[in-house]
Amino acid sequence: MLRKLTRGFYWELFWCAMIVALAGICFVFSAAYGEGQNLAFRQLIWFALGFLALFTVVAIGYRSFLNVSYVLYGISILLLLAVDLLGATRLGAQRWISVGGFGIQPSELCKLAMILTLAHYLGSRVGNLYQFRRFVGGFLLVSFPMLLIIKQPDLGTALIFMPILFTMLFMWGARFRYLLGSIALGLLSLPVFWLFLKEYQRRRLLVFVNPNIDPLGAGYTAIQSKIAVGSGGLFGKGWLMGTQNRLNFLPEHHTDFIFCVIAEEWGFIGSLVLIFLYGILVWRSLAVIERTTDPPARLLASGIVAMIFFQILVNVGMTIGLMPVVGIPLPFVSYGGSSLVVMMIAMGFLISIYKERSIF
């Protein structure tokens, strides 16, 4: 059975993900200085669960999950609705459901359920017939969970849904005029979107242009993150030696801003090594798309690659001041069980596609 499971296994992708995830546990230990041992141990437990989930997905096969994608989508919507009734509030946001002392973030699970559902919906409808109707259907599938996530509020996670959707629509073969028209419509609706943002979200967008307009408030995190990244220099200050982290100048240093801790302790070289590993991870994931001829599998792999790539892009971008500050975890590295397990399951889907649908 083990031989059957590992036959044709995508070991390059697997080991790259494992290296980044295990390094992430060390980064969490350092970032959560003082309570790092406890948080790192909890992250190790989530890693073990994710490891089992990865091999479970590979053993079952991606097709089985595509067949029940609408059920998974419905469950994820119910979990998002349950957040309003049972959710725990942290830092002014109600995003988590507490289960046995561990917090589960349904929005992370919803991303993967949405990708599966879109892959099944679009992948079974290849062709030009009624393309506009199917194009609109894809937007509707994404819009409902997005609105529920924005309500929590979790603008960062909600915004990741859009690049995933457009990537999958592009890979599906949607007409360019539909894609460009949707982008234009989105830009025109920005003034309306602004009215529905909460005050702190507006301030975050304003300080992106000029952090100094509120250096002790909304701009504080943006300023401190750039100080942390810059203070690392070329080779960094060494593991557990980051002053911005240890003196608690940097908020959320073990979750959304863990890249700042990495840059401060390991410097430009260490940050470059991590980005290089991410580059290999994305590159080998793209190979899965290239090597399969199954339309739903291609769409599923495309959505997963888009999810990983844009989370890396936004997280690193916001820590160095190139993007607004939003709540986006760094894949495989940021502290958080839901994010880590979802990423491991995503790797399981890519490996399953590679095993079952390779054309070489």
Q: What is the pLDDT of residues 20-58, one digit of tens each?
A: 999 999 999 888 776 657 888 889 999 999 999 999 999
C-alpha distances in angstroms, 41 versus 32, 103, 139, 265? 12, 15, 40, 21
The pLDDT value recorded for residue 305 is 96
**Closest among 242, 233, 216 to 268, alpha carbons compared:** 233
The pLDDT value recorded for residue 359 is 42
**Closest among 208, 210, 227, 125 to 169, alpha carbons compared:** 125
* Residue 104 reports pLDDT greater than 90: no
Residue with more model confidence, 35 or 12: 12
**Closest among 30, 13, 22 to 304, alpha carbons compared:** 13
**Closest among 224, 231, 230, 192 to 207, alpha carbons compared:** 224
The pLDDT value recorded for residue 308 is 95
Confidence band, pLDDT 50/70/90 cuts, at residue 360: very low
Confidence band, pLDDT 50/70/90 cuts, at residue 226: confident
| pLDDT, tens digit, 9 for 90 and up, residues 286-312 | 999 988 888 999 999 999 999 999 999
What tokens does 244 get? 């911005």
Phi/psi of residue 7, nearest 5 degrees: -70, 125
List the alpha helices (DSSP H) in 92-219.
Answer: 106-123, 131-151, 155-172, 176-188, 190-196, 199-209
Q: Give the gyration radius of the chain's Cα atoms.
A: 20
Evaluate whether 62 touches 288 at the Cβ level (below 8 Å).
Answer: no
Q: Is 103 helix (H, G, I), strand (E, B) or coil?
A: strand
The pLDDT value recorded for residue 344 is 96
The pLDDT value recorded for residue 90 is 58
What tokens does 168 get? 């999958």
| pLDDT, tens digit, 9 for 90 and up, residues 109-164 | 999 999 999 999 998 765 555 678 888 888 999 988 988 888 777 778 888 999 99
